[in-house]
Chain A
Amino acid sequence: MPEITYREAIKQALSEELERDEQVVVMGEEVAQYNGAYKVTEGLFDKFGGKRIIDTPISEAGFIGMGIGASMLGMRPVMELMFWSFSYVAFDQIVNNAAMVRYMSGGLINVPIVIRGPANGGTNVGATHSHTPENFIAYTPGLKVVCPSNAYDAKGLLKSAIRDNDPVYVMENTLLYGQKWEVPEEEYLIPLGKADVKREGSDLTIVSHGRSVITSLEAAENLAKDGIDVEVVDLRSIRPLDIDTVLESVRKTNRVLLVDENKPFCATSSQISHMIQLEAFDYLDAPIQRVTSIDAPAIYSDPLEKEQLPNVARVEKAVRSILDQVSA
């Protein structure tokens, strides 16, 4: 199987869907002639032209709202946010319009829009550019949100997102764009709402999503050297949520660590924790613990930002503390 970057995988998904369905257009700041702020859309403008690949002014509320209006009339716009952090200026469109129109019309109108872009910290750019709003989005009934942790998932999930009849928001990661994974050449889709066990283990379950999965896998490899056998469940999709795969793992390992780049209060992991205690209470041998971002705006200073985010050392430490608790 060829290895391609996360960036290339997303581009392939866009290109394939643009070819498959002429109602698909790609829009955003710098996506066309400049080839994308992160080069995700590189070459698409040359291939598909200016009618399909469209540079927008810096007007997130305006152009995302426009995409929502166009999707009501049957188009399938894929909107790029240069950073999900910039979604905050378009929040009314992203939440009130995209998510509420179907409901308030009693089911008469669909909004098959995709909004995608990077949502991550760890790039030394300060608090305004480091937001991870998957928890905000998952909070809103009517919206779907996925956070692919690798190239294979990114491609399969984005293709499903574009074909979905509900609004789907895809949160990518700039730190993953340049990394490579095996991706088959033949076409495939990954359904939304299907978690993936990225590493099997018997001692403890880590539940994670996005780049935190990569961090967790690295920690798991280190722990394996000490004979600690960690299972890593990648949620992939936050809403819809495959809680069954999580519960199945918990019932096997009886110990849980949630690793989540969100800040702790009302994080994605808060919901997961609640559901695990509600549905698998009798299987737990220790309290559920979490590793999240440290609860402050994203710090600029590079070494400290690495400390603020979930990292391998913090994950390892948390796993050991849970296991110590159980054996004590």
Chain B
Amino acid sequence: MATKKTTRSSSGLVEKAAKAKINSSLSNEEKIKLLEDMIRVRRFEERSLRSYQQGKIGGFLHLYIGQESVATGSLSVLGENDHFITAYRDHAHALLCGMGMNECMAEMYGKATGCSRGKGGSMHFFAPDKNYWGGHGIVAGQTPLGLGLAYALKYQEIDGCAICYLGDGAVNQGVFHESLNIAALWDIPVIFIIENNGYSMGTSEARSSKFEDSLAKRAEGYDMKWESVEAHHVYVVREVTDRWVRYAKENSKPVLLEMKTYRYRGHSVADANSEKYRTKEEIQRYQETMDPINVFRKTLTDEGIIDDEKVKEIEKNAKEEANAAAKFADESDFPTVESITEDVYWEADNPDERKSEGRLFFHS
């Protein structure tokens, strides 16, 4: 019988999470670092939005603004053998795992100094050396990949798990359900985290998904554990993720988590209707009462760990870092035409080790 658990937002929940060992054992510096992480992500994205408006960044730009507690909290509890993968709303995950603002900003500018050498863009950031496997543009396309990462860890007898993030719209893709079934059937230590921001583009959750209590409850159909939480407080996200990561690894089992969050901006920056499918008041209400940065700042202030001065300093540093990244990206070179056909085949990029013969590329 699967666990049924839907925790509602309440100060009790936060207090309980704060007392959990994963949070109570944090040093003051570590707590400040969590706040700083969220502020860095937000300032970076705000700076990228400006660059987009200036025409420096093209394509789609999906901002994570409002959702920072989810990636910050969940990634902060992972160990060195834990891997993760996400969809196209991927900037926060990138910065939080240690990718630099420069390489990320330059990627969005389409520059050769970008993390993917200008070949991926905003939706396709990767850092396999930091256990970050992208950055995927097709809704739910990453879900079997996340399953595969966890399967490989299990096969290779590595004591790790994989976290696979997806949106609330992605839960209706067939491949996600195929992945849930396989994960449960084969006891794969993968944790699917639904970052439920209430909307898939302009469609509210209620208009796209039929469910009882929680999207995560669908896990019961696969005899899989699940939990759903209000995720705007980073302590709560850490407590929930830590508990289920340990469960997944100790028992080699999958889990489906729903983290309820909210995005302030449009689906992408190109979404001009972001205030048409929801009210201004709705956005304001979240900003005023549940903004992940404000909420955690208040917690740390109440705990007597930070003061306004310290926050100002963090804000200033983050802004400067983001501005410097924009400058770096701006001044970087675009990739060369020759580089278009690099990174297509491993063999073409490693001619000395090539074993096949014949033409790999074709001209018109």
Contacts and interface: CB of A to CB of B under 8 A. Distances in A.
Interface of A: 25, 51, 56-57, 59, 61-75, 92-93, 96-97, 101-110, 141-142, 144, 160, 163-166, 191-195, 237, 239-244, 271, 275
Interface of B: 83, 85, 114-120, 124, 126-129, 133-138, 141, 143-149, 151-153, 155-156, 174-175, 178-179, 181-182, 185, 341-347, 349-350, 355-362
A230 B192 CA distance: 59
B179 A240 contact: no
Contacts of B347: 164-166
Contacts of B129: 108
Contacts of A93: 141, 144, 175
Given A73-B153, A92-B138, A102-B346, A62 B145 contact: no
Given A65-B145, A72-B148, A92-B138, A160 B356 contact: yes
Contact of B128 (A67, A104, A105, A237): A105
Contacts of B147: 62, 65-66, 69
Contacts of A64: 144
Contact of B344 (A73, A108, A142): A142
A140 to B, nearest CB: 10
Given A61-B175, A106-B117, A164 B355 contact: yes
A62 B182 contact: yes
Contacts of A96: 137-138, 141
B358 A192 contact: yes
A104 B153 contact: no
Interface centre among B174, B178, B344, B349 (most CB of A within 10 A): B178
Contact of B149 (A25, A73, A160): A73
Contacts of A105: 116, 119-120, 124, 126, 128, 134-135, 343
A73 B81 CA distance: 12
A62 B362 CA distance: 32
Contact of A192 (B151, B182, B356): B356
Contacts of A166: 345-347
A144 B356 contact: yes
B356 A70 contact: no
Given A69-B148, A73-B156, A160-B356, 15 more contacts: A62-B179, A69-B146, A96-B141, A102-B343, A102-B344, A104-B135, A106-B117, A106-B126, A108-B129, A109-B126, A142-B344, A144-B356, A166-B345, A193-B357, A241-B358
B182 A57 contact: yes
Contacts of B156: 73-75
A165 B182 contact: no
B134 A66 contact: no
B116 A106 contact: yes
A56 B186 CA distance: 10
Contacts of A92: 138, 141, 175
A69 B128 CA distance: 12
Nearest to A141: B344
A321 to B, nearest CB: 29
Given A72-B148, A102-B346, A165-B346, A240 B358 contact: yes
A242 B361 CA distance: 11
B355 A69 contact: no
B168 to A, nearest CB: 20
B345 A241 contact: no
A268 to B, nearest CB: 12
A195 B357 CA distance: 9
A106 B343 contact: yes
Contacts of A73: 83, 148-149, 152-153, 156
A194 B361 contact: no
A199 B141 CA distance: 45
Contact of B362 (A57, A107, A271): A271
Contacts of B83: 73
A107 B182 CA distance: 29
Contact of B148 (A65, A239, A275): A65
Contacts of B135: 104-105
Contacts of A163: 355
Contact of A240 (B85, B144, B341, B359): B359
A72 B120 contact: no
Contacts of A240: 356-360
B124 A68 contact: no
A97 B356 contact: no
Contacts of A110: 346
B361 A70 contact: no
A62 B359 contact: no
Contacts of B141: 65, 92-93, 96-97
Contacts of A104: 116, 119-120, 124, 126, 134-135
A109 B133 CA distance: 8
B92 to A, nearest CB: 18
Given A142-B345, A160-B355, A165-B346, A70 B126 contact: no
Which 7 residue pairs are nearest across A and B when measured between Cβ atoms? A69-B148, A65-B144, A62-B178, A193-B358, A106-B117, A69-B145, A59-B178
Contacts of B178: 57, 59, 61-63
Given A56-B182, A106-B116, A107-B342, A97 B155 contact: no
Given A103-B119, A109-B126, A75 B152 contact: yes
Nearest to A143: B345
Contacts of A57: 178, 181-182, 185
B116 A65 contact: no
Contact of A68 (B148, B179, B357): B148
A23 to B, nearest CB: 8
A65 B343 contact: no
Nearest to A236: B358
